[in-house]
Every structure is written in structure tokens, then in C-alpha cells.
Amino acid sequence: MQMKNHIKNKKNFFAVSGINMIVKDDLNFALDRKQLSKVLDRLPRSFRRLVDYVIFGNFDFLTKMHFNAAFKDGAIYVSSTQIDNSSVIDDIIHEIGHAVEDGFWNEIYSDLQLEREFVKKRMQLHGELEKNGYRYSSLEMSKVEYDKRLDDFFYNDVGYPEMTSISQGIYFSPYGATSLREYFANGFEAYFYHKDIYLKKVSPVLYKKLEELENV
């Protein structure tokens, strides 16, 4: 994809904290560049260098997947239809987390410690779901890759409010239960954006990994 095809004029192309930004389609929110810069500056420069562009627009592949944002081929694609500026920044930091995964895969996953922590939490969640009358294969829940059927079970059959209640004390947020990769990216948000120390209590291995990455 040629980036120049997304640039209508110079006003639609700018940089924040060293990351190139492109506004492909009109935004339905007021992008606060100063706030975005303040949050991005918390990230090590080595993380920001992993992202070539952040592109705001209407993207069919995001709509089909019901995503607000996605990291793909070195760029972060962000829906131009969002609730507010805070949600947009949250999405961008989350997707930078996925970029960091790609860039530091061995440091994050090669010792299997994070995977073990995730699987242990999935089994805890499985037990809590059963206590509340929800049945799902423990074997399927022990798998770390994204599974659409399991995702649908979490958010359609159980429902987000119930998932939030049941997963409390197991995950920083219920979205972290989706897959190992989302577990990492969700923790990345908590550590670098929300600065929430609760992450250290609920996910000590993940927290330590993020501390180590921050100092790489």
C-alpha cells in the first residue's frame, strides 16, 4: 500500500512523538495531539520506531472484524468513528503493544513464563465460569491462540458485564482473556497508558516482562 494514496493534503499528514500520522477520512472526534504526545512519550523510543504510520479512516477490514484498531504491516489502522479521544489513545497504545510483540518476540515469549501464567489464569477462569453455570471445554480454554468461538462465548454467551465480574482478580480486564497476544497487549496498555499498579498484583509475570522491556 502506498502511503501517498492516503494523504489528501499536508494538513492530513503530521507526526506525533516521532510517529507519522495520516487522517484519511474525517474524524468524528477531536484528536488531542498534545495528550497523545504526552502518552506516547512515555514509551521507549525503540517501541515507537516499530510503527511506521498511524492511519485514521474508515476501513472495511476493521468494520468486518468489529475492531476499532489493528496493527498490520508496520502500520496502525484506527477507525475514524470513535467514542472519544481517550478511547483512541487507548487503541493506539494497545496496537503499539502488538508491534512490540513482533519486535521483541523472543524476549517476551521464548522462556514460556508468560504463556504459563496465561494458561493458569484461563484455568482459573474456567473454574469460575463453571461455578456460575457456564460450560466450555477446558481443553479448548487451555489453548493460547485466538479462537473466534471462544471469543463469541466470552462476549455473547457470558456477556461483558458478567465477564468483568467473574474475571476480577484473574485478569486486569476481561479482554486479557481473549488470547495470549491480547493478554500481553492489554497489560501493555495498563502499564504504559493507565499506569495501574493493579497489573502487578494480578499478573506479576506480565508486569515483570514489561518492566524488563522498558529497560531494553
Instruction: Using the 3D structure, point to which of 101, 128, 150 is the last residue of a domain.
Output: 101
Residues 82 and 7 in one domain: yes
Sequence letter at residue 90: D
Q: Hey, which residues does 137 pair with through a beta bridge? A: none
Number of structural domains (the chain) is 2
Give percent of the chain above pLDDT 90: 87
Mean pLDDT of all residues belonging to the chain:
93
Segment 140-155 shows an average pLDDT of: 96
Q: Is the pLDDT of residue 7 over 80?
A: no
Residues 137 and 200 in one domain: yes
Q: Is the pLDDT of residue 21 over 70?
A: yes
Domain that holds residue 10: 3-101
pLDDT at site 202: 97
**What cell does 162 get?**
458478567
Residues 21 and 79 in one domain: yes
Segment 198-202 shows an average pLDDT of: 96
Distances from the Cα of 76 to the Cαs of 59, 100, 135, 189, in angstroms? 12, 12, 36, 15
Decide: pTM greater than 0.85.
Answer: yes
pLDDT in tens, 23-43: 999 999 889 999 999 999 999
Q: What is the distance in angstroms between the CA of the first residue and the CA of the last residue of the chain?
A: 31
Instruction: Using the 3D structure, point to which of 101, 135, 161 is the last residue of a domain.
Output: 101
pLDDT in tens, 154-174: 999 999 999 999 999 999 999
pLDDT at site 66: 87
DSSP 3-71: GGGG-SSGGGEEEETTEEEEE-S--SS---HHHHHHHHTTS-HHHHTT--EEEEE--HHHHHHT-SEEE
Residues 13 and 51 in one domain: yes
Select the more confidently predicted residue: 5 or 103: 103
Residues 179 and 84 in one domain: no
